[in-house]
Structure 1
Amino acid sequence: MPLLSTVSASLADVLALLLPVECAGCDAEDQVLCGECRGALAPRPMSRLLDDEIWAYSALAFEGVPARVIRRLKEDGRTGLARPLGRALRAAVLAAGAAGDAVVVPVPSSRAALRRRGFAVAPLLVRRAGFRPVALLAPARVTADQRGLDRDARARNVAGSLRVRPRPAELVRDRPIVIVDDVLTTGATLLEAARTLRSAGLVVVAAATVAATPRRSSATHR
């Protein structure tokens, strides 16, 4: 083995001892993401019409490996996972029509989530997908945690929770917008984002997410 390779391997071994890592998808040791789990993140775009208002495109089903990897990003702060997730998201964003002069608008994190994590999930994923996130939306009020809420409760929880930033909005007034979030569950957040942007006279054409919850999705594979 060449000297450089030997040194690199030795350093990797030392780092594995000092900074143990496990695969985000299956907990295999000494790998951030093993080959099999990386393969499970290969995009399989699907679409779903939300309340006859907006089409949402998702790259993966929120189950198994994709669900575990997304949770590791969001709950454990493993931001390196945003890159493989971003590659999956890119397929969904392109399926949603983000080509040419389309504007990619991430759903903003709540102030509480931003304080807890130290980073905003959706903008990070958009950047790792190879797009420039445009911060047209901002939180307008505090909301409860969406976990555990049913469809109607989620819709009530997010109603009026977003506002449009006027200055950047003026710069993209006539351009098509694709809204991006990490996971589609009931669609309440994406619908609220679309309604907020449209109420300001902006043109929302679709939404895109990394994953969609299968049990709540009537998605059609494309």
Structure 2
Amino acid sequence: MRGWWQDLTDLVLPAECAGCGAPRTVLCPGCRAALGAGRPRRVRPVPEPAGLPVVHAAAPYADRVRALLLAHKERGALTLAGALGAALAGVVREGLGWSDAGAGSGGGPVVLVPVPSARWAVRARGHDPVRRMALAAAGELRRTGTPARVAAVLRQRRAVADQAGLDARRRRVNLAGALEVMPGGGRLLGAGRVVLVDDLVTTGASLTEAARALRDSAGWQVGIPNGGGSGVSRVVYSAVSREGREERRRAVWPERGKWVHGAPEKAMTNVLEPTLRAAVIAAPRDSFEINRN
């Protein structure tokens, strides 16, 4: 575990860039640019697990980006959280379809739900890297005019093995049923656009399990049919949120069909589940859809 003096030393006397080793800087301009090189894109692991949310990523998991994520996660380079959070905020905007319309489009705040790390990993690292990045991303979204907050409502309900070295099938087995929403966590989601966030997607097992836990949480979502035939379905959250000293019901927003594989949504007559999204910093190069066409 890092000591406070190590964090202070990193802030005052940065030794080298965590991405490329350039001297006298925590993050050089080239590595900072690598985090936002190009527009965030849709990624789909192969094979794509059933129940995986629509996922967008900022960059391929290689070279400088890989080094930055490992430095932040495993070596405690906490000063990278701001840059990683800014990159994650850009992915969230792209996934919500706000990159062209401008920040703050849509209804309700953005609610970022970090995928939780294993308890033993948090103890070993001395911090939760995904939660730290989510907090930085929410701050960047607010700074640019988008109401956003973090709801760390997921937790592990049982121990899981280290995912390193496991193939896609074993990862799914390892994580199946491992996560749950904390008691009362559904109320913290409120009436916002919920986005699962993680640093990396490889097989999609972690995001799939996190999405399953959110979907199964009692009392979070209630659907109503779309009676207008406009291709816009509406979802209402029954959660109560506290604002100031008052409790009030939170609102409704339209979900547009372009979110679901580019096809318009059809009117539904049964309970409608809100569509979850996911945003990550990086993904394997071959999972970017543009590279498979």
Q: Under TM normalisation by the shorter chain, which class is it?
A: 0.7 to 0.9
- The answer as to whether partners of 2:43 and 2:283 remain within 8 angstroms in 1 is no
Structure 1 match to 2:257: none
Following TM superposition, by how much is the alpha carbon of 1:51 offset from its aligned partner in structure 2, in angstroms?
3.5
Determine if contact 1:110/1:139 at 8 Å carries over to the other structure.
yes
Assess, with a 3 A threshold, how the Cα gap between structure 1 residues 30 and 174 changes in structure 2: closer, same or farther: closer
Q: How far is 1:22 from its partner?
A: 0.9
Question: What is residue 4 of structure 1 aligned with on the other side?
Answer: none
Change (3 A) 1:42 1:174: closer
Cα separation, 2, equivalents of 1:80 and 1:20: 10
Give 1:20 deviation, angstroms.
5.9
Could you say if the C-alpha distance between residues 21 and 141 of structure 1 is closer, same or farther in structure 2, counting changes exceeding 3 Å?
Answer: same
* Runs of 4+ with >6 A deviation: none
Matched residue, 1:132: 149
Counterpart AA for 1:123: R
1: CA distance, partners of 2:150 / 2:133 = 9
* TM-superposed deviation, 1:161: 1.0
Q: TM-score if structure 2 supplies the norm length?
A: 0.64
The 3-state SS of whatever aligns with 2:165 is coil
Going from structure 1 to structure 2, the CA distance change for 1:40 and 1:48 (only over 3 Å counts) comes to closer
- Per-residue deviation at 1:139? 0.9
Name the residue aligned to 1:117. Answer: 125
Amino acid at match of 2:117: S
CA–CA distance in 2 between the matches of 1:96 and 1:40? 19
Q: Which amino acid aligns with 1:94?
A: R
Which deviates further from its counterpart, 121-130 or 72-81?
121-130
Quote the residue 1:94 is aligned against.
93
Describe the superposition over 1:106-147 as per-residue Cα deviations: whole angstroms up to 9, x where unpaired. Answer: 011110111011111111101111242101101111111111
Shift of the alpha carbon at 1:59?
A: 1.1
Answer yes or no: is the 8 Å Cα contact 1:182–1:209 preserved in 2.
Answer: yes
Relative to structure 1, the CA distance from residue 173 to residue 113 in structure 2 (aligned partners, 3 Å threshold; closer, same or farther) is same
Match for residue 143 of structure 2?
none
Whether the 8 Å CA contact 1:22–1:32 is kept in 2: the answer is: yes
The amino acid across from 2:186 in the alignment is A
**Aligned counterpart in structure 1 of residue 214 of structure 2, from 190, 197, 201:** 197
Q: Is the 8 A contact 2:110 2:195 kept in 1?
A: yes
Q: Does 1:172 align with 2:189?
A: yes
Partners of 1:204 and 1:162 lie apart in 2 by: 19
Identity percentage of aligned residues: 39
> What is the aligned partner in structure 1 of residue 77 from structure 2?
78
Structure 2: give runs of 5+ residues left out of the alignment.
1-8, 99-105, 140-147, 221-273
For 1:179 and 1:214, how far apart are their aligned partners in 2?
21
Aligned length, in residue pairs: 205
Could you tell me which runs of 5 or more consecutive residues in structure 1 were left unpaired when the two chains were aligned: 1-14
Q: 1:185 maps to which residue? A: 202
Contact kept? 1:179, 1:204, Cα under 8 Å: no
Structure 1 counterpart SS, 2:166: coil
TM-score when normalising by structure 1: 0.84
Q: Are residue 104 (structure 1) and residue 112 (structure 2) matched? A: yes
Q: Distance in 1 between matches of 2:161 and 2:290?
A: 31
Structure 2 residue aligned with 1:3: none
CA distance in 2, matches of 1:66, 1:76: 15
Residue type of the partner of 1:155?
Answer: R
Distance 1:174 1:31, change over 3 A: closer
Please state if 1:65 is matched with 2:64: yes
Matched, 1:46 2:41: yes
Q: CA RMSD in A?
A: 2.3
Q: CA deviation at 1:176?
A: 3.5
Q: Could you tell me how far apart the structure 2 residues matched to 1:114 and 1:183 are? A: 17
